[in-house]
Amino acid sequence: MSESDNTKKSAPLTPKSQSALGTPLAIVLAGVIIAGAIMFSGDKGAAPIVVADNQPPVVEQKTEEELLKFAEIVDGDHVRGNRNADVYILEFSDTECPFCKRFHETMQQVMAEYGGEVAWVYRHFPLAQLHSKATREAEATECAAKLGGEDIFWAYTDRIYEITPSNDGLEDSKLPEIAGELGLDVAAFNECLNDGEMTEEVAKDFQNAVDLGGTGTPHSLIVTKDSIIPIRGAQPFDVVKSSLDAVLAK
């Protein structure tokens, strides 16, 4: 797929829409603008996003075809497991979200058991109003990918989730330190990060999360050729396994 076909549209780092995901044939998206009050997604084990003045969202109906297009794997996506798998889990995550930290372990278990049948697609959804460090950390993972490739992206991301206490507990000094641990050129890493080279990339993922109904983190979807099945919050491995087994059995 060409870059022009990439559905991860560029946008400022503020969510513009919000939705509730129902069945694959009845998924709605809703628009919100960031300001001061908190709206909870209703998912257990998920950090909420922030919306303006408790205003009700403006609902925009999307077709299943449109939603599947938004969820399609594109060039530049970070994919673990079989990139050509018929089933993949698309995760939108925030590195300082404690629920995301927990779900990262779940997804590592998923890959250990289903790596040949299921792919893990990771996109960024930093909720800066809750976790001020998350956007910079997301950009750091992209700088690691730029300098070291896909394996280094995953190693860097794994390491952040491993050591962060969550809720902005990770010291900024750890970002270049992790880069050095992984054998990256730390000076080049710092230049990439401090110059904002990956700001737009992270913003694209954020907008893509909103387009797919993201209301909190982690926001994850099981995607097949013709359906999207939401995973509500930081579900444990057994719950995700049950859903995957049902999908793979079809």
Residue 143 pLDDT:
98
Residue 248 has pLDDT above 60, yes or no: yes
Residue 26 has pLDDT above 50, yes or no: no
Residue carrying structure tokens 């069945």: 23
Report yes or no on 175 lying in a domain: yes
* 81 class by beta-carbon count within 10 Å (0-12 exposed, 13-18 middle, 19+ buried): buried
**Full 3-state SS string of 105-139:** HHHHHHHHHHCCCEEEEEEECCCCCCCCCHHHHHH
Residue 70 has pLDDT above 70, yes or no: yes
Report yes or no on 2 lying in a domain: no
pLDDT digits (tens, 9 = 90+) for 203-245: 999 999 999 999 899 999 999 999 999 999 999 999 999 999 9
Report yes or no on 20 lying in a domain: yes
**Distance (Å, whole) CA 53 – CA 137:** 28
Contact 202, 13 (CB under 8 A): yes
Report yes or no on 29 lying in a domain: yes
Residue 136 or residue 52, greater confidence: 136
Residue 220 pLDDT:
97
Report yes or no on 1 lying in a domain: no
Total structural domains within the chain: 1
**Distance (Å, whole) CA 159 – CA 174:** 10
**Distance (Å, whole) CA 119 – CA 78:** 10
Mark 121-132 as b/e (b = at least 16 C-beta within 10 Å). bbbbbbbbbbbe
Residue 186 has pLDDT above 80, yes or no: yes
Report yes or no on 4 lying in a domain: no
CATH number, domain of 177, equals: 3.40.30.10
Report yes or no on 183 lying in a domain: yes
Q: Structure pTM?
A: 0.79
Work out whether the CA dihedral 183, 105, 98, 124 comes out positive or negative: positive
Report yes or no on 198 lying in a domain: yes
Q: What is the largest CA-CA distance in the chain?
A: 50
- Lookup: tokens for 199: 């700001």
Between helix 237-248 and helix 98-114 the angle, nearest 10°, is 40
Residue 193 CB coordination number (10 Å) = 22
pLDDT digits (tens, 9 = 90+) for 38-63: 333 345 577 765 444 444 444 456 77
Contact 24, 228 (CB under 8 A): yes
Q: Mean pLDDT of all residues in the chain?
A: 82
Query: Quick one: pLDDT band at residue 22, thresholds 50, 70, 90?
Result: very low
Report which of 225, 206, 205 is spatially closest to residue 72, judged by C-alpha positions: 225
Domain range for 181: 13-248
Report which of 44, 79, 17 is spatially closest to residue 230, judged by C-alpha positions: 44
